[in-house]
Amino acid sequence: MPWTTIVKSSRDREIVPNLHDYGSIHASFTWEQARQDLEGLRDNQGLNIAHEAIDRHANGAHASHVAIRWLGKNGTIEDYSYGQLQDLTNRFANLLQQLGVARGDRVFVLAGRIPELYIAALGTFKNRSVFCPLFSAFGPEPIRARLNIGQANVLVTTASLYQRKVAGIRAAIPNLQHILLIGEDRQRTAIAGTQDLWTRMQQASPSFAIGPTDPEDIALLHFTSGTTGTPKGAIHVHQAVVAHHMTGKYALDFHKDDVFWCTADPGWVTGTSYGIIAPLTNGITSIVDEGDFDAERWYRILQDERVTVWYTAPTAIRMMMKGGAGLVRKFNLRHLRFLASVGEPLNPEAVVWGQEAFGQPFHDNWWQTETGGIMIANYASMDIQPGSMGRPLPGIEAAIVHKTEAGTIELLENPGEQGELALRPGWPSMFRGYWNEPERYQKCFAGGWYLTGDLAKKDEQGYFWFVGRADDVIKSSGHLIGPFEVESVLIEHKAVAEAGVIGKPDPVAMEVVKAFVSLKDGYEPSEELRRELLGFARARLGAAVAPKEIAFLPTLPKTRSGKIMRRLLKARELGLPEGDTSTLEG
Ligand code: ATP
Ligand code: MG
């Protein structure tokens, strides 16, 4: 790879990074010590996410600090201080009590990024019930399936989503006892079989004392993105907050006056761990934008809200790249000091584009719904190797392993060896199971390791490099080819906006590499361009790894969280059934 290391200069250190010395902090870190950064419930009554996120700040000098600044689609701005959030989440917790919703019961929320979603999440934690977010663009069938898999007791949604998506399937969700509706513009609703959320909230008391919370009490049920198959419901417990808090501090470098914007929707785990929990436990201001992606509007938000730390995703970055760096430079983004990305491999081209457009690189980090929080990251203080996911967080032991036929685990310790990325279990935000799927959960562990299902390699300096999903890796003429490497080269070509690569069965080579690309504005598919791209890739990758075929698509199929669904490209190519498409962007 021709990419040069991005060396962090002293300019990056005007604010000393929390993880100022990776080596020494990593070496001396313990989770017990990290737990001491949190307060815990009084009289040793345990650890509750909402206490750390809200009450601890609201009960002190921080009560009037803005916790959430909400930017509505129609231009409305609403600020919620820690004190106000305490009042509102207490009311929601009291409302759950009045309804008889118990510790461990599931409270689902189906809503866009509106304040009620955040209030319900935190109020649910206070009641020690289980919060389960659903992405608001789901259709009735994925909603029904998830409500039933999670045996929902309560559903909070808007009147409009209820009428469009839930009313028709209501009879098919037998476990559901209570439906709380949010009216248009918070107008009262009166739909049979439901209750009006704000009416009940107003009647509820604003005082609530969180009951004893075992750190192992279930707090969250989070469905995975469904990139590789049927989504799984990952279970997380209250003590996950120790990892949320610590990773916010070290991987996202939160400092007390930060204004942080996580662009992810809470329907996906990033939007919960970092869109709700981590910024609040760290006592900073979190921006919540109700609107969807729009490059220019996003730059305006960064400018007007004086965002200091920004956490977004590769798909959005690639879309911004389409519009060019010139547009970014029209905005005054001098407050912005740290850019991070997650969700998919971040092509080196995109890391470097950050420097061109924002004057600083994007910091890639890696984690999964199952890990609950960031596991491997590029830090504010650490040089970046573009294309690498970075190094493990303090408290996280990561390795490259091979699972033998017999089911034993071999450690691959030579730099550059490719294998499955594995993590040593034991960090607080590790999932505790897949809801009602114990066997699927058991299969994730072997030889004392959690196997992530991702392939990666590690270099001499301990940086990890993503190769591909285990399911997506291509076996061609005795080589193992990671789609990410091929895709990253293709998008270096000036005409290519996005690329998705699959293995296509071949009688001689076993599989050959086939690439699907979408083009940047101003470029049209043509035979000439196809040949040019084939030659471009061959020159960089060599004949063994370069694609043999390239097809043009207007856009690539993606999950609603923006991940390229290679399994769908493959199924379509081979004329096979498409499998679970509930999370497909549509
Ligand atoms: P499913 O498990 O249902 O197939 P999913 O794995 O996409 O869906 P998530 O938990 O949302 O569901 O995504 C985690 C996965 O996303 C990781 O296992 C990895 O494959 C990919 N990923 C996340 N961040 C990165 C990154 N920085 N680099 C490369 N891949 C990443
Ligand atoms: Mg997964």
Question: At 12, is the pLDDT very low, low, confident or very high (cuts 50, 70, 90)?
Answer: low
| Ligand showing the shortest atom-to-Cα distance for residue 579 | 1
Is the beta carbon of 342 within 6 A of some atom in ligand 1? yes
Mean of pLDDT over the chain: 95
19-23, 43-47, 92-96, 225-229: the lowest-pLDDT one: 225-229
Mean pLDDT of 382-394: 97
Fold entry, domain 472-574: GMP Synthetase; Chain A, domain 3 (3.30.300)
Determine contact, residues 376/400, Cβ cutoff 8 Å. no
pLDDT for 455-505, tens place per residue?
999 999 999 999 999 989 899 888 889 899 999 999 999 999 999 999 999
Q: pLDDT category, 426, cuts 50, 70, 90?
A: very high
- Identify whether the C-beta of residue 360 lies closer than 8 Å to the C-beta of residue 231: no
Angle (CA) 347-353-355 rounded to 5° is 125
Amino acid at 147: L
Distance of CA 20 to the CA centre of its chain: 25
Q: Is the CB of 472 under 6 A from ligand 1?
A: no
Nearest residue by C-alpha to atom 5 in ligand 1: 225
In this structure, what DSSP letter does residue 61 have? T
Listed in order, the ranges of the chain carrying CATH 3.40.50.12780 are 10-458
Q: Who has greater pLDDT, 573 or 471?
A: 573
Every domain range in the chain assigned CATH 3.30.300.30: 472-574
- 344 Cβ below 6 A of ligand 1: yes
Report the CATH architecture of 10-458. 3-Layer(aba) Sandwich (3.40)
* Closest of 197, 52, 57 to residue 115, by C-alpha: 197
State in Å, rounded, how far the first CA of the chain is from the last one: 35
| Cα 229 to ligand 2 centre (Å) | 9
Summarize pLDDT for 31-63 with one digit per residue, the tens. Answer: 999 999 999 999 999 999 999 999 999 999 999
Does the beta carbon of 312 sit less than 6 angstroms from any atom of ligand 1? no
Nearest alpha-carbon partner for 295 in 348, 340, 331, 346: 331
Select from 370, 99, 110 the least CA-distant residue to 266: 110
Does the beta carbon of 314 lie inside 6 Å of ligand 1?
Answer: no
SS (H, E, C) 299-347: HHHHHHCCCCEEEECHHHHHHHHHHCHHHHHCCCCCCCCEEEECCCCCC
* 466 in contact with ligand 1, CB cutoff 6 A: yes
In order, the DSSP letters of 241-307 are HHHHHHHHHHTS---TT-EEEE---TTSHHHHIIIIIHHHHTT-EEEEE-S---HHHHHHHHHHTT-
Inter-residue contact 255 to 383 (CB < 8 Å) = no
Alpha carbon of 542 to those of 14, 43, 486, 492, 548: distances in Å?
43, 65, 11, 16, 11
Taking the CA of 467 as reference, the closest ligand is 1
Q: Are 144 and 155 in contact (CB under 8 A)?
A: no
- Interval between CA 305 and ligand 1 midpoint (Å): 30
Residue nearest to atom 15 of ligand 1 (CA): 368
Instruction: Provide the 8-state DSSP code for 429.
Output: T
What the block records as the tokens of 142 is 């994925």
pLDDT for the residue 544:
87
Q: Residue 95 corresponds to which tokens in the numbers above? A: 């409302």
Residue closest by Cα to atom 18 of ligand 1: 368
- CA 344 to centroid of ligand 1, rounded, Å: 6
Measured in whole angstroms, the distance separating CA 278 from the mean position of its chain's CA atoms is: 13
pLDDT confidence bin for 508, thresholds 50/70/90: confident
Count of residues for the chain?
586
Q: Among 274, 347, 367, which residue has the most ligand 1 atoms within 8 Å of its CB, making it the best to mutate?
A: 367
User: How remote is the CA of residue 314 from the centroid of ligand 2, in Å?
Assistant: 17
Cα–ligand 2 centroid distance for 369 (angstroms)? 7
